[in-house]
Amino acid sequence: MTEPAPEPAAAVPDDDAAPDADDVAADVPAEAPVAGELTEAQLEALLFVAERPLSRTEIARLAGVDAATVDERLGDLEVSLAGRGIRVVLAADRVELATAPEAGGLVARYVGADAVRLSPASLETLAIVAYRQPITRAGIERIRGVDSDYTVRTLVHRRLIVEQGRSESPGRPILYGTAFEFLERFALTSLDELPALELETAARLVDGGDERATSAGDAPNGARELTNGVVDTTNGAAESTHPVGPGSD
């Protein structure tokens, strides 16, 4: 009599065997995005401890919120700080806290800064950069009608203007624009608060700084009157600035 074939032994699971990838994916739930929160108090604390200006994008990433929420909280914070000793300063996409201009004198005495104003040449150059940025040194010189290399370097050293890239013109010269220090010194929360220029002065400012203009030695007629007009426009703000620092250039 033929004996029945033995039934195959049941497979014994191997504890050391690697599990199937599909099984792992099914067992481990996908990580759900964490809904962030950004209160006005949190934003104020973050800007207070930050050692540098923060971008809106960076704040949104840190808080786990969208850009619209950041803008809303910034608006709330600006309203809350109105009339107090701290204000929100905005420059393009970057944000920081700064002391209010009316507290500038007291703060300057505390930090020991000398109340030395900018020289006419530096103020003139700074005004041109503020209204014409981004602009190259050659563009500044076309408007002023004089060499401005030392003045530009001085303003960069004092962190009132910064490099903002390179021009596409031959030689790819450096483009300059105002820095956060400029807003703080002139008691501005953004460049939108710059005083409006007269139409004639504004038109000549644009024409004079055009990279397609003639060489620096062939400055437009009336360059001195142009810069005087720009400086006169900003003189009101200059009188209320924080001290710029030791020396004047």
Same domain membership, residue 66 and residue 125: no
Instruction: With respect to residue 30, please indicate whether it lies within any of the assigned structural domains.
Output: no
Same domain membership, residue 190 and residue 132: yes
Q: Can you give the residue range of the structural domain that contains 173?
A: 117-238
The CA–CA distances, whole Å, from 158 to 121, 202, 234, 248, 249 equal: 14, 26, 19, 11, 10
Instruction: With respect to residue 186, please indicate whether it lies within any of the assigned structural domains.
Output: yes
Confidence of residue 156 (pLDDT cuts 50, 70, 90): very high
Q: Are 127 and 237 in contact (CB under 8 A)?
A: no
Same domain membership, residue 121 and residue 100: no
How far the first Cα of the chain sits from its last, in Å, is 117
Same domain membership, residue 71 and residue 164: no
Q: For the chain, what is the total number of helices (H) and then of strands (E)? A: 11, 6
Instruction: With respect to residue 19, please indicate whether it lies within any of the assigned structural domains.
Output: no
Instruction: With respect to residue 15, please indicate whether it lies within any of the assigned structural domains.
Output: no
Same domain membership, residue 129 and residue 96: no
Same domain membership, residue 96 and residue 123: no
Could you read off the pLDDT of 37-78 as tens digits, one per residue?
A: 899 999 999 999 998 889 999 999 999 999 999 999 999 999
Could you read off the pLDDT of 224-239 as tens digits, one per residue?
A: 455 555 555 454 444 4
Instruction: With respect to residue 1, please indicate whether it lies within any of the assigned structural domains.
Output: no
**Is 204 a residue whose pLDDT tops 80?**
no
d(CA 53, CA 70): 15
Angle, alpha carbons 15-20-25 (nearest 5°): 120
Same domain membership, residue 187 and residue 123: yes
Q: Considering the chain, what percentage of its residues have pLDDT values greater than 90?
A: 33
**Mean pLDDT over all residues of the chain?**
74
Could you read off the pLDDT of 86-113 as tens digits, one per residue?
A: 999 888 788 999 888 888 778 777 766 5
d(CA 154, CA 161): 9
Same domain membership, residue 68 and residue 126: no
**CATH code for the domain in which residue 79 is found:** 1.10.10.10
Higher-pLDDT residue of 125, 214: 125
Instruction: With respect to residue 12, please indicate whether it lies within any of the assigned structural domains.
Output: no
Indicate the number of domains in the chain.
2
Q: Are 144 and 223 in contact (CB under 8 A)?
A: yes
Instruction: With respect to residue 142, please indicate whether it lies within any of the assigned structural domains.
Output: yes
Angle, alpha carbons 124-129-134 (nearest 5°): 165
Instruction: With respect to residue 84, please indicate whether it lies within any of the assigned structural domains.
Output: yes
